Amino acid sequence: MFGYIRPFNDELRLKDHQLYKSVYCGLCRSMRKNYGILSTLALNYDCTVLAMLYMSVKNERCSVRRGSCSINPLKKCLLCSCEGEALEFAGAVSVIMSYYKLRDTINDSGFPKRLSAFFGRAALYRNYKKAVRKYPYIDSLTSEMMKRQLEAEKENSGVDRSADPTAKLISELCRSFSDDEKNKRTLSVFGYHVGRWIYLMDAADDLEKDIRHKSFNPFKGRYDGDIKHTMIYCNEVLNMTAAQIVLAYELLELNSFKAILDNIIYSGLSYQQKKYTETRFIAKDKNKDYYGMLDEIE
């Protein structure tokens, strides 16, 4: 369920793109340092954005330096490091969430997947314990979320109810970024809809697979499994959620990474949405520019 929140690179300035990459690499480096080299397997784009948001809200000073990649020492890259806890926090979030995700896979997948998830979990176990010691509340929030998610799936709930656990989790995580009561409120609404959006994107992405395997999906009940119509519906639901993200985002008090975050919120979300819903299922006309890359020529 990771990696949907990303910038739309084509509209990002080169320097912002490099800064974004440096945060990604910096997060990887910090995870290697804090939770061991195997924890970098859990690295993902969503947590990179989480780290940037954290730094931006808390106004943490950060610096970018040249270094070499944590995995491939021959590759040179830019590394972002910050004085505060942003990278450590985001690293802990991705380790803990990946661990739970793997545990979930072991419980309800076929044999080959189960086996690889089992080894993955064993590899992550020590790193997970370490992250939990530092941030016990992330662990308790995530396990609570997983429990509620299971209940919602058992009851075959609708869109709102099944997206609620993930939304609440991200909401609580974002809420912890600020000490100011007003900012907390804005951050928690922002986080709620970001979490909801991630969950719904994942559901839309898995829809085809879930119909084939007859597993749970909140969108499945609609239109008797007609994928094209369901995708139009998914897109509408996602649009509404993105609208709420934008409303809350515009009230946030941010200090840095503004250009990247703007890009993610205003272009990245809708681009990803189109990529996973429209262009995959709805677009059949090859002559139309579904990505909006070409300017319209009259």
* 295/298 Cα distance (integer angstroms): 9
Counting contacts by CB under 8 A, is residue 186 touching another protein? yes
From the list 249, 261, 86, 252, the residue with the least C-alpha distance to 182 is: 252
Q: How many other CB atoms sit within 10 Å of the CB of residue 221?
A: 12
Counting contacts by CB under 8 A, is residue 242 touching another protein? yes
From the list 50, 54, 53, the residue with the least C-alpha distance to 95 is: 50
Counting contacts by CB under 8 A, is residue 250 touching another protein? yes
Concatenated DSSP letters of 107-155 = HSS-HHHHHHHHHHHHHHHHHHHHHHHH-HHHHHHHHHHHHHHHHHHHT
Greatest extent of the chain over all pairs of C-alpha atoms, in Å: 61
Counting contacts by CB under 8 A, is residue 193 touching another protein? yes
Rounded to a whole number of angstroms, the minimum distance from the CB of residue 81 to another protein is: 28
* 283/50 Cα distance (integer angstroms): 32
- 113-172: contacts with another protein (CB under 8 A): 158-161, 164, 167
Rounded to a whole number of angstroms, the minimum distance from the CB of residue 251 to another protein is: 5
Candidate segments 54-62, 110-118, 129-137, 184-192, binder of another protein by CB under 8 A: 184-192
Rounded to a whole number of angstroms, the minimum distance from the CB of residue 144 to another protein is: 17
Q: Which of 63, 251, 255, 279 binds another protein (CB under 8 A)?
A: 251
Alpha-carbon 236 to chain mean position? 20
Counting contacts by CB under 8 A, is residue 189 touching another protein? yes
Counting contacts by CB under 8 A, is residue 266 touching another protein? yes
Counting contacts by CB under 8 A, is residue 10 touching another protein? no
Counting contacts by CB under 8 A, is residue 221 touching another protein? no
From the list 158, 128, 127, the residue with the least C-alpha distance to 143 is: 128
Candidate segments 17-25, 76-84, 85-93, 190-198, binder of another protein by CB under 8 A: 190-198
293 is written with which tokens? 């890359």
Taking the least distance from each CB to another protein, the nearer of 18 and 267 is 267
Binding site for another protein (CB under 8 A): 158-161, 164, 167, 182, 185-186, 189, 192-193, 196, 235-237, 239-244, 246-248, 250-251, 266, 270, 292, 295-296, 298
